[in-house]
Amino acid sequence: MLLLANYEGRCGVPKAVEMLKARQNGLRAIIEGIKLVEENTDIHTVGQSSWPNILGELQLDAAVMDGNTRRSGAVGAIKGFKHPVEIAYELMERLPYEILVGEGAERFAREIEAVPNINETDASIKAWKKHLSQVLTDEQKKDFPNIRLLDVKSHAVDPEKLFDTTVYLSLDDEERISSATSTAGWAWKYPGRLGDSPIIGAGSYADSRYGACACTHTGEMTIRAGTARSVVLYLKMGFTIKDAVYQAARELGELQTGYLDEVTIHAINSLGEYFVLGVNSSEPIKYVVWNGSMDQPETKKAEKYMTY
């Protein structure tokens, strides 16, 4: 058995480990772990109290994938619900689709009686208003929100540089490999922006025959390279876990435009091995891992790969 999570998601790891130890379904274990992250108001990049988009609306994304069936479920730009990762799972279970976004995802959430929630908090709104006060001109402040958002889009950067999407990967006692992700995306993003988290094959992918991968930070880059799927395909080709991740990182490095720094690739394989690599990381990147031989989860540092 194995659980791998990024450091931002550490508060949910004990719950997921508890369920894996009890030989429960690995996908359900990591979903329950991520739900604890989604409701943790001290984390501002996932779920409740995250940094909103440029209009002050908190739009959330999430995805799950069962490596046995290779079915997935994802939701994007969803507002007003506590646990988008659970809604993504229910989509996978109840509908023949792989992804729902915006109003459609919210309608589905209401129909399955998902837990509603006002995710914006005093802390997140205060941070948003402070950001607006710093980036808008006096004229824009007077007319906001009826302004050209294109004129402020360049300011949509995350105030927490190394903390973002929560990703979990697991290998359970039945050798099922699973992945799950949840995020609020970039702080102050343009409304409707989707990153890699709800895009299967970019932000996450799971195949019980070979392994799984999930990525954090700038999703635009891993979307362009299909990074998560690439890692699993390299595992299928017989690469070691480390070589598979490094090869995917090299492909990211070949992109000539975009913001690549801080992208982090997390991967596991069917042998119970794992590897985490930070691309152009400016500071040490930590992650959390547990396997059946460990009494407790351990925090470790990712390797670093520089493309310049």
Backbone angles phi, psi at 133, to 5 degrees: -65, -25
Six token digits for residue 11: 């508060």
Q: Is the pTM of this model over 0.85?
A: yes
CA distance 14 to 33: 8
Query: The domain containing residue 252 runs over which residues?
Result: 2-6+9-305
**3-state SS, residue 180:** strand
Residues 297/21, Cβ–Cβ less than 8 Å: no
Residue type, 56: G
The three-point CA angle 281-285-291 to 5° equals 140
> What is the number of domains present in the chain?
1
DSSP bridge partners of 116: 81
CA distance 118 to 81: 7
Six token digits for residue 41: 């108001």
Residues 5/166, Cβ–Cβ less than 8 Å: yes
Q: What is the pLDDT along the chain (308 residues), one digit of tens a residue?
A: 999 999 999 999 999 999 999 999 999 999 999 999 999 999 999 999 999 999 999 999 999 999 999 999 999 999 999 999 999 999 999 999 999 999 999 999 999 999 999 999 999 999 999 999 999 999 999 999 999 999 886 655 555 554 579 999 999 999 999 999 999 999 999 999 999 999 999 999 999 999 999 999 989 999 999 999 999 999 999 999 999 999 999 999 999 888 888 899 999 999 999 999 999 988 899 999 999 999 999 999 999 999 98
Longest CA span, the chain:
61
Six token digits for residue 244: 């598979």
Any idea how long the chain is?
308
CATH value at residue 170: 3.60.20.30
